[in-house]
Each structure stands twice: as C-alpha cells, then as structure tokens.
Amino acid sequence: MTATDTHRTIDAVWRIESAKLIAGLARIVRDVGVAEELAQDALIAALEQWPESGIPDNPGAWLMETSKHRAIDRLRRNRLLERKHEELGHELEAQQEFDAPDLEAQLIDDIDDDVGDDLLRLIFTACHPVLSSEARAALTLRLLGGLTTEEIARAFLVPESTIAQRIVRAKRTLAEAHVPFEVPSGAELAVRLSSVLEVIYLIFNEGYAATAGDDWMRPGLCDDALRLGRILAELEPNEPDVHGLVALMEIQASRSAARTGPSGEPVLLLDQDRTRWDQLLIRRGLAALERAEALGGAIGPYALQAAIAACHARARTAEETNWARIVVLYDALARITPSPIVELNRAVAVAMAFGPAAGLELVDALTSEPSLKAYHLLPSVRGDLLAKLGRSDEARSEFERAASLTRNARERALLLERARRGH
C-alpha cells in the first residue's frame, strides 16, 4: 500500500471512528475540547506510524487504545489524580500514591462501557443551547462529523479562521459554563432535544439549498446531517420528533439527483423528473414518518413537514399532488410553529389548490412583514403567482428583486432568466 493509500485509509477510519473516540474520552476527562485534543494526538500518531508499520487489523481499536494512554498521561501531567479518583468512585486521600495500572484499567472499562450513551452525550453537549446556532453547527460537524476546520469552512463558504474561532470559542464556552457531559432528563430534555434537531436540520438545509456561493446544493452536508439524524434515531428510538426529522430529510434528500440540471442549474420541484427520485430514500422516509406517528402524542413540526414532503413523494406526477391535503398540513404547522415563512409556504399550497389569485392575496398580506424584507423567496413566489395571472411586467419586477436579494449564484441566474421571460 502506498503512502497516499495509507493516508486515505486513515482519513476514512477517522471519519468513522472519531465521534466514538471523542465521546468515550469526553466522559473521562469531562471536557470535549480536551477529548478532541487527545483524539487528535492519536490521529497524529497513526499518520506517523501506519505508513511504516501498516494499517492495524482493527484501526479503530488502535486509535482508542492510543487515546486512552494519552488520557492517562494527561491526567498525570495535569495532577488531576485525586479529582479523577473521586469521579470514578475511589476514596483516596489527597496524598495517596497514584496507582497507574488501576487508573488505566478503570479508563479502559469506562471508555469501552457504552459507546451509544457516550455518542448521545456528545450530541447533546455539542448542540447545547448556550452556544449560537452557527457555533453548534460547526462544533457538531467537527466532533461528530469528523470534518476538518477547512472542510467546514468550505461547506459554509466562510473563512477557515472564522470557523476555527467559532470552534475554539464554543469549547471555551462549554468549559466555562461547566456544561455537564450527560443526557438531559425531565423537562430539560425537550428543550435540549429541540436544539439538537435544529442544528441537524440547519446543516441539512445548508446542503440542500445553499444560501450562498456558486452551487445550488452541497450534498456532503446533506449526507452528514442524514448520518447524524439516523444515529440519533437509533439512540433515541422513542422520540417522535427525531423520527419526524429523519423522515423529512430522507424524503427531501430523495430528490437530490433531480434538483439540478446538466450544468448544475436549479430544477424546481414541479419541473423535476420524478423517475430520478431515489425510491429507497423515499421508502426510508415514509417508514420513519410512520414510526413517528406510531409513537403517539402531538405531531411535531418536523413530522408535519415530512407529511407534506410525503404528499409530493407519493404523487407520480406533479399534477397528481394532493395540494388540498398539503394546505391542511400547513394549517396545522402554522398553529404549532407560527412564522411568516410557514405562511409563505402555505400561500404557495393555497395557490396550487385553489388558484393563483387566492395565493397572491395571502402573499400580499406578507409584503409588509419586517422579517421577510430581505427574504428573496417572497418576491420570487409573488413573481410566480403574478406570471400565472398574466401580469408579466409586475412578475418581471418581482423576479429581478428576488435575484438581487439571493446570495446563491445558481438561484440568481434562474431568477434573472425568469425575469427575462416574464414567467
């Protein structure tokens, strides 16, 4: 195996194993920043040793074993013996001799104890609401996605230094706030779970419809979000909101191949070739939606959005879409999560179900909404409805305004083309 092949293998192993590695270490050192440093030390050791010694039979176990030794060394260096013994349930006097073999055995037992619980703790820690949404997304991709700072920066189209600062500040904030490395319980669980789901869907959406840059989609981010969602669904099988989010992402991701044309240009939902939709992802999404509904209780916002997506997925052609059903679902969504964007989407559904004039009336009521002043989809939707009503000049003006507001080059080109055509 060449050095290049070895490095590629190490990269692949890191993507697979890093989250489990960091999670196991974080439970011992109680600091995700320190845990990541220890895991990175093991990665550096692999990069130094594996090209000469070859890839171990169990590379994940090698990284874990190396990380555990690094953790023991760090505890020695930082003189944390007594505190660590107390945390591990030992009753040692402050002056007692350090028994390295005993601590090593305890570390081995603890890290290997329950990978699933550790991953869940890491997810809740990285997505803690004490952090901003941008910091949560960056830290989650770093700790749980195994992405480098450069990769995260490239995905979100921001300078690498900005992402590095976000991650450093996020780790510092968690440490200074003494955020416990644990799964919340009771009333706090719902709030914290909402924060986790928000971060995962934020990552997915940035991949599904990039807010800026030259590409309409960034599939890598969609894949990362889907993987995180699926992991969370396995770790929290009785939480309907989790399955609702997974269902929504699976169904939306099923359209990925049909959402861009030969040159990377956007293809809108009603114009997509539905034979290119991924039927496996649709089946997975519908199964996740059924699972969410079967758990009972009030249907959450992600499950409602997944039910809307399912209406599209079940329609063999755009004309067969059950728009009346979609309007009802948007009515329900507006009741539990009222927002101008939900109302805009509802207006589109009303237009499709009951005619463009009915939809335009609802859209016009949103034009004075401050939060939508710079939202490019408001004039885009309005332009579409005006075009359908034959009001071409007004439609052209709206498409031009929408083009001026979007930061995505592909979307801007599409809107300008629609302005040129007047429809």
Query: Which pLDDT tens digit goes with each residue over 256-287?
Result: 999 988 888 889 999 999 999 999 999 999 99
- The string of pLDDT tens digits covering residues 151-162 is 888 777 789 999
pLDDT at 142 exceeding the cut of 70: yes
- The string of pLDDT tens digits covering residues 208-243 is 876 666 676 778 888 889 999 999 999 899 999 999
Residues forming beta bridges with residue 266, ordered by sequence position: 260
Asked if 197 and 241 count as a contact pair (C-beta separation under 8 A), the reply is yes
Mean pLDDT value of segment 401-410: 91
User: In angstroms, rounded to a whole number, what is the distance separating the alpha carbons of residues 327 and 301?
Assistant: 15
- Residue 86's pLDDT is what? 56
pLDDT at 339 exceeding the cut of 80: yes
- The string of pLDDT tens digits covering residues 30-74 is 889 989 999 999 889 988 998 888 888 898 889 988 988 888 777
Residues forming beta bridges with residue 407, ordered by sequence position: 212
Burial zone of 93 (CB within 10 Å; 0-12 exposed, 13-18 middle, 19+ buried): exposed
Pick 301 or 28 by higher pLDDT.
301
Burial zone of 275 (CB within 10 Å; 0-12 exposed, 13-18 middle, 19+ buried): exposed
pLDDT at 76 exceeding the cut of 50: yes
Pick 201 or 156 by higher pLDDT.
201
